[in-house]
Amino acid sequence: MTTAVSLPLVESPLQPEAAVLDVTVAAGDGYVGRIPAGGSFRIVDLHGNQAVDTLFYDAENLANRYSAMDTIREQGRAYLTTGSRLLSVDLDLLVTITADTCGRHDTLGGACAQESNVVRYGMHTRHQHACRETFLRYGARVGIGARELGHNINFFMNVPLSPDGSLTFADGLSAPGKYIEVRAARDVLVLISNCPQLNNPCNGWDPTPVRLLGWWSR
């Protein structure tokens, strides 16, 4: 069975030169920041096939966080792309995906953790850095702890659902320069782990940096 997809690619008119936020997140590093209501936020997969584990929160109420289950049920499809409305556990709209030049993003596969690495790949991976640790390290800066970590989005990660219902971590559909862009429906916090995983193809076996761009009035 092939994983052929029709990709509804949508580009953004926003120009990097006009961005008020422009940071590069090194391979395996993280980021936390605020996107004001109405602001646009872009993640650029600089080298291709890099999973970017991402969580969104209502900036005024961290318990009102992104809900993968509610988002999937309300949009009636498993993957995220342009037009996807990312909902919170209280069914509030956090952000809408407004541009996507990759075409498919996962929100079923979860984030890697040192514990799951050991189960999947063996005890020798116990020391390897993982997304859950990055979420906790950067989340601590804004009051996000283990209780606030819910199910995440894996931008640029390809986790096809097979006809029999099984999930696989497949080679990515992304490529250098592909990006995803969202518009905030309210003030949100974005928490990112630029995935350090070395044991499956989610990062093309070689984690690489990503660029974050933001457009809003200061």
Residues that bind Zn ion (CB under 5 A): 112, 131, 195, 197
Nearest Cα residue to 212 out of 7, 10, 26: 26
Cβ nearer to Zn ion, comparing 22 with 171: 171
Cβ nearer to Zn ion, comparing 80 with 185: 80
Smallest distance from the beta carbon of 105 to Zn ion, in angstroms? 14
Cβ nearer to Zn ion, comparing 99 with 131: 131
* Tokens linked to 154: 């894996």
Smallest distance from the beta carbon of 95 to Zn ion, in angstroms? 21
Nearest Cα residue to 23 out of 214, 204, 212, 217: 212
Nearest Cα residue to 155 out of 42, 63, 77: 42
Cβ–Cβ contacts within 10 Å for residue 155, how many? 28
Cβ nearer to Zn ion, comparing 40 with 134: 134
Cβ nearer to Zn ion, comparing 46 with 113: 113
Smallest distance from the beta carbon of 165 to Zn ion, in angstroms? 23
Smallest distance from the beta carbon of 157 to Zn ion, in angstroms? 9
Pairing state between β 210-215 and 40-45: antiparallel
Smallest distance from the beta carbon of 144 to Zn ion, in angstroms? 17
- Across 66-157, the runs of DSSP E, i.e. the strands, are 85-87, 93-100, 153-155
Rounded Cα–Cα distance for residues 218 and 208 (Å) = 30
Rounded Cα–Cα distance for residues 218 and 104 (Å) = 31
